Amino acid sequence: MEIGIMAKKALLVGINDYAPAGPGGPDLRGCVNDVRDMANTLSALGIVPAAPATMQILTDSRATRAAILRGVKWLIADAKKGDVLVFHYSGHGSQMADVGGDELDAKDETICPHDYATAGMIKDDDFRTLLAGLPAGVNLDIILDSCHSGTGTRELAAMAATSDSGSVAYRFIEPPIDWGFFLDANPSLPVRGILRPEADDRARTPVVVDRLNHVLWAGCRDNQTSAEALIGGIYRGVFTYNFCKVLRGAGPAITRLRLDAQVTVNVRGMGYAQVPQLEGTKTSLSERVFT
């Protein structure tokens, strides 16, 4: 019996320009640069070849809800044990009230496609449904450099007093009223504020999730915002910048736990309050990254 060749594929999504195309949307400046940085890093380290057959890139108006969902289906199509798959998203994030009852905090995290205002956001439940049939042994890393905070606007207000609004932006979109109203109006939904400095050590602990069929890298905790800033004269996501920098310096032999720890230290060293969050099984977290 012939053993199939291990596949290496990546779907990279970065959205600076939100609908309507051009000026007028809740635009960002560092997300396309994040995608370029991630593509170069994955290619240079031999993790995923930079070729149309193995790497799909969606940016700005091409990164619609339908296109992103099609891209995820392409990424996991015919996946088999040993395959290396990477999904990276850089853009706005948000939250909505969980109506399925499967979230401990009663909130669903979302990412915001280019056309989110008309087509809708993509919920973590959508990803869960798509990945339900992923075969055992597939190495799927999902990297999200976006905000996951129902209290993000209040954190923005607190940060505005100390940040240069021209050089730092936060990747959060207020959810529409039909989704967002119940986050704060329903007393059963916890309202969480800004992470206290004394909680940093606990926040750095990766989350072990038994039987999780992928590894999740989040640019911040689900009650925080992810920042983008002018770094070396170029707008970039603070998390993606440090993720790629540490990975390029250490090489693909670094374990996920060590990569997460070093990225977290670097983000904190730059003066940002966001705490990256790593989730996976105990085994996957201790393995070399992207294996």
Q: What is the pLDDT of residues 179-233, one digit of tens each?
A: 444 445 443 333 222 333 334 444 457 888 888 899 999 998 877 888 999 999 9
What are the structure tokens assigned to 22, written together? 């051009």
| pTM of this structure | 0.83
Q: Which residues are catalytic?
A: 92, 147
Q: What is the pLDDT of residues 261-273, one digit of tens each?
A: 999 999 999 999 8
- Domains in the chain with CATH codes: 8-286 (3.40.50.1460)
Please check whether residue 159 is in contact with residue 170, taking contact to mean a CB–CB distance below 8 angstroms: yes
